[in-house]
Amino acid sequence: MIKSDHPIRIAIVDDHALFREGVREILEAQEDLVVVGEAGTSFTALELVSQKRPDVLLLDVEIPGDAVTHTVSRARVISPATQIIILSMYDGPHLLRQLLSAGIRGYLLKTVHRYELVAAIRSVHYEPDRLILVVSPESLAQMETARTEVLTTKEREVLELVAQAFSNRQIASRLNTTEATVKRHLRNIFVKLGAASRIDAVNRAIDASLITPTR
C-alpha cells in the first residue's frame, strides 16, 4: 500500500447530524485523514462533491432525495477520482449488487468498529481496484448466486485480456473503447463472479469455464 504525504480528504453524507459529528471525530483523530465537508441530502451531497472533490465519499444509503444508486452514478461523473464507501444499516444483496455495479468501492454496515472504517478508507484510497465489504453472512451467501450469471461477450473479451496481463488502457485500445467502459465491465464482472480482484476474477472465470486459460 503506497502512502502519501498529503492527508486523505473525506466528505461525510448522512441525514443525521449526530452521526456525522461522531464519524468526523473518529476520522480527524487520525493524522492522515481530514474531513472537508458534510451533507445531509443527495442534492447537497452532489454539490459537496463538485466543490470539494474529496478523495473518499462516505455515503449513507437512505439520505433524502434521489435514490442512492443515482447519487453514486452522478457523483462518479462529477468526480471520477472520488472513491465511494456506503455506510448503512441495511445490506440486502440486490441493492448491494446495484451499488457495486454503479461503482462503489466499499459497503460497510454502521455496526463496524472505528478501526474498520479507518482501514476501509485507507484501502480504497491507496488501492482503488480493491473492494471492501463488511456485511452480514446472509447477504454474502446470497451474493454468491451472482456468480452463476453468464458474462456478456464483451465482458468475456475484457476478462480474457485481463488474463493476458493487459492494463485497462491497453484493453480499451484493443477493443476500441474507453478506459471508463473497461472499468465498468470489470465492476460488472466482479459482481457476477463474486470476485475481489482482477486475478480472482480470472481464476473464477477459468474455473467456471467462462474463459480459456492463457498459455
Task: Give which of 66, 57, 22, 56 is closest to 39, Cα–Cα.
Answer: 57
89-136 confidence digits (pLDDT tens) = 877 777 787 788 788 999 999 989 999 999 999 999 998 778 888 776
In the chain, which residue ranges form alpha helices assigned H by DSSP?
A: 17-28, 42-52, 68-78, 93-102, 114-126, 137-143, 153-163, 168-174, 179-193, 198-207
Query: Could you tell me what percent of the chain has a pLDDT over 70?
Result: 90
pTM reported for the whole predicted model: 0.67
Q: Which residue has the higher pLDDT, 181 or 90?
A: 181
